[in-house]
């Protein structure tokens, strides 16, 4: 049976999918078969799901940054302009800051550490860089509870993100003093696959996916899942479907205790 499954996978373009996923640092080679067994999806549904995964590798991230800088030249040419990562040290904002630095689009002296924020000149422009704004809740909380305590009131803050939902952008702009620079809009039609506006999956498959993903959520915990199939080369965001990234998560099916093994385990 397993041999037949492998043949089906190969006939449906398995080699191309395997090569695609190997661009992700957290993907274990040849793990798709075991991941599929946990779902109640057939091979056509699984292939559709895997083909729908959108990967932001270093090249794509740098291309988006390049476009944002090119279309906002006046902003990036300001004298007192500074760039720093958004969020805690070592998290996703730091990865994007790393890629930004290596584009060489902005002078190295413009990049600063978070602890330098309070020492910036009056009327500085500060651009915080992040990979994704999903619901906007985490970004807004971090701004209100952390960054506003560090920023000089005269500073003009921006949040530059590689991609974002409109909901997330609106929340940040409406509830904070930050402006958003976004590379790719994750609209409902093309990216938010639980939405009625998304036609990527058939209704029957969409229902299955919602049921599977709901098993991997703790009651009472904030739910950031937007039905995305998005990952960055270093880790998926928690706005993507949990079946992609929620590793070693205990769940029940027909009263049987199981442990979910993620396809792309989330690092943080």
Residue boundaries of the structural domains of the chain: 16-51+188-260, 58-185
Question: Exposed, middle or buried, 209 (CB in 10 Å: 0-12/13-18/19+)?
Answer: buried
pLDDT value of residue 1: 60
Strand partners, 257: 252
Spatial distance between the Cα atoms of 188 and 110, rounded to a whole number of angstroms? 35
pLDDT value of residue 89: 75
Which CATH number does 58-185 carry?
3.40.50.2020
pLDDT value of residue 158: 98
Strand partners, 232: 56, 235
Question: Which tokens sit at 247?
Answer: 């590793």
Rounded to two decimals, the pTM is 0.94
Q: Which residues of the chain have pLDDT under 50?
A: none
Spatial distance between the Cα atoms of 192 and 189, rounded to a whole number of angstroms? 7
Spatial distance between the Cα atoms of 47 and 45, rounded to a whole number of angstroms? 6
- Report the greatest alpha carbon distance in the chain: 69
pLDDT value of residue 220: 79
pLDDT value of residue 5: 86
What's the N-to-C CA distance of the chain in angstroms? 36
pLDDT value of residue 62: 98
Does residue 103 contact residue 65 with C-beta atoms inside 8 Å? yes
């Amino acid at each position: 049976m397993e041999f037949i499954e492998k043949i089906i996978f190969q006939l449906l373009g398995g080699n191309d999918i395997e090569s695609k996923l190997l661009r992700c640092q957290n993907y274990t080679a040849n793990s798709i078969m075991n991941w599929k067994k946990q779902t109640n999806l057939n091979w056509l549904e699984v292939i559709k799901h895997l083909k729908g995964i959108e990967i932001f590798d270093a090249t794509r991230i740098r291309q988006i940054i390049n476009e944002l800088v090119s279309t906002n030249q006046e902003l990036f040419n300001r004298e007192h302009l500074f760039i720093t990562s958004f969020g805690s040290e070592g998290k996703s904002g730091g990865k994007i800051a790393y890629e930004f630095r290596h584009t060489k689009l902005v002078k190295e002296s413009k990049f600063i550490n978070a602890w330098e924020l309070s020492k910036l000149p009056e009327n500085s422009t500060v651009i915080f860089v992040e990979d994704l704004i999903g619901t906007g809740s985490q970004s807004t909380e971090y701004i209100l509870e952390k960054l506003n305590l560090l920023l000089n009131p005269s500073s003009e803050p921006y949040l530059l993100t590689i991609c974002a939902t409109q909901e997330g952008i609106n929340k940040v702009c409406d509830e904070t003093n930050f402006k958003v620079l976004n590379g790719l809009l994750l609209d409902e039609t093309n990216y938010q696959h639980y939405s009625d506006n998304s036609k990527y999956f058939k209704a029957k498959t969409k229902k299955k996916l919602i049921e599977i993903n709901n098993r991997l959520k703790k009651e009472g915990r904030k739910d950031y899942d937007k039905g995305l199939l998005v990952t960055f080369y270093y880790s998926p965001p928690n706005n993507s479907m949990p079946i992609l990234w929620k590793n070693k998560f205990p769940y029940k099916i027909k009263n049987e205790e199981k442990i979910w093994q993620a396809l792309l385990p989330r690092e943080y």
